[in-house]
Amino acid sequence: MLTRRTLLAASATLAAPAILRAQTSTPIRIGEINSYTAAAAFTLPYRNGWQLALEQVNAAGGVLGRKLEVISRDDAGQPQNAIRLAGELLNDQKVDLLAGGFLSNVGLALTDFALQNKKLFVAGEPLSDALVWEKGNRYTYRLRPSTYMQAAMLVPDAAKLKAKKWATVAPNYEYGTSTVKWFKQLLSAARPDVEWVGDQLPTLGKIDAGATVAALAQARPDAILNVTFGGDLTSFVRQGNTRGLFDGRAVVSVLTGEPEYLDPLGAETPEGWLVTGYPVSAVTDPANQAFIAAYRAKFNELPKMGSVVGAALIASIVAGITQSGGTDTEKMADGFAGAAFATPFGRAMWRAQDHQSTLGTYVGKTALKDGHGTMVDWRYIDGADALPDDAAVKKMRAG
């Protein structure tokens, strides 16, 4: 039963500390840009998440006595649209900072915009490591576990597999190629005997699943790294099941355990894949349970990974602004560093050395239950435990 205590707990989970005093007439304005029409399965739950968190923050008194406002725009998955919209939000809407992003190429475009215009950008979803390392800058922070982190979370279990010959399949853009690069590097370091026998790089959203599956089968790998997601993943799984690609082969699959991508597989869900994701139906920790209760009360459905990202994004921004003492861009660029914030997955913080957050994710295996895909044998991995040391970061970090 949803109680007042549960709702208050949820509010405490999502809202970072705020100074409670009479609100001024000028709200703090966040210009949010995302791929709502291009990636609805993830971004619509994400929007629900930040809307819920926004309501809770303002109900608790706002931030530094000011109401928090989000002005949202849709980039349709196109970097050029994101840049145009960022300019409009900055010049016409006078936003105090920018946030959002889904695809890595869009996130990198906004990262460059932030540097050129000296405006803070808090990336929610884009996973490219370049966003905070090779192309990082003082005006950009990133929330979600990166491609390096996702690979680092999966490699310890992947290294225990008997598989020696590996093939990969990934979308042919920054997220896909970066994930493959890091997984290969980290697995090869853990298992020097591993051989890489083939890479498939289908165009994002246009996978020829039959041809891709045939090419992978021809390479005769013992195991496969899969980095496809969304509709590409569904097509890949269907063709792989039909043609027996996964029979007797281990599969390690990034993001596949997230409800956005696991739910559509339904009864076709392959069992035993090693995945990152969110076992929302099984988590029992108080922060998750409070978030789930509040989310269900508002939207009458279970949250997804996007919902967690949206809620955590608001909490991370509130914490950064509070620690910075206001919305001056230069003060925020420094002041976000070290700020801690509550998320549905527990406490996280903004790292000073690269502006990456320590938000983690879950690792487990896929299974079928009552005709639906689920995660089993899962555990949460703190993002702080899946990052390289400071010396390695310093070599890669641009600025």
Residue 285 backbone phi and psi in degrees, to 5: -70, 150
pLDDT at 5: 39
Instruction: Give span(s): CATH 3.40.50.2300, the chain.
Output: 4-145+283-360, 148-279+361-392
pTM assigned to the model: 0.92
How far apart are the C-alpha atoms of 305 and 105, rounded to whole Å?
A: 20
- Which residues have a Cβ under 8 Å from the Cβ of 30 and sit 6 or more positions away? 68, 69, 70, 71, 95, 96, 97, 98, 99, 317
Angle of CA points 188, 128, 69, to nearest 5°: 150
Report the pLDDT value the prediction gives residue 397, as an integer from 0 to 100: 84
Per-residue pLDDT, 22: 42
Tokens (6 digits) for 91: 């010049």
Give the right CATH number for 148-279+361-392 from 3.40.140.10, 3.40.50.2300, 3.40.50.10490, 1.10.620.20.
3.40.50.2300
User: What's the length of the chain?
Assistant: 399
pLDDT on residue 398:
66
Phi, psi of 345 (to 5 degrees): -95, 5
Phi, psi (deg, nearest 5) at residue 160 = -80, -15
Residue among 297, 253, 258 nearest 275 (CA): 253
Give 124's DSSP letter.
S
Tens-digit pLDDT profile for the chain (399 aa)? 334 334 344 444 454 444 334 445 799 999 999 999 999 999 999 999 999 999 999 999 999 999 999 999 999 999 999 999 999 999 999 999 999 999 999 999 999 999 999 999 999 999 999 999 999 999 999 999 999 999 999 999 999 999 999 999 999 999 999 999 999 999 999 999 999 999 999 999 999 999 999 999 999 999 999 999 999 999 999 999 999 999 999 999 999 999 999 999 999 999 999 999 999 999 999 999 999 999 999 999 999 999 999 999 999 999 999 999 999 999 999 999 999 999 999 999 999 999 999 999 999 999 999 999 999 999 999 999 999 999 999 889 865
Question: Within 13 Å and on the Cβ side, how many CA atoms surround 13?
Answer: 26
What are the strands of the beta sheet with 250-257, ordered from one edge?
195-200, 165-169, 223-226, 250-257, 274-277, 361-369, 372-381
Rounded CA separation 2/6 (Å): 6
User: What CATH number matches the domain at 4-145+283-360, 3.40.50.2300, 3.40.50.970, 1.10.10.10, 3.40.50.300?
Assistant: 3.40.50.2300
Query: For the segment 203-227, what is each residue's pLDDT rounded down to a tens digit?
Result: 999 999 999 999 999 999 999 999 9
What are the backbone dihedrals phi and psi of residue 205, each rounded to the nearest 5 degrees, phi first?
80, 0
* Structure token digits, residue 382: 């703190």
Largest interatomic CA distance in the chain:
67
The beta-strand segments (E) located in the chain are: 28-34, 68-74, 97-100, 121-123, 140-142, 165-169, 195-200, 223-226, 250-257, 274-277, 340-343, 346-349, 361-369, 372-381
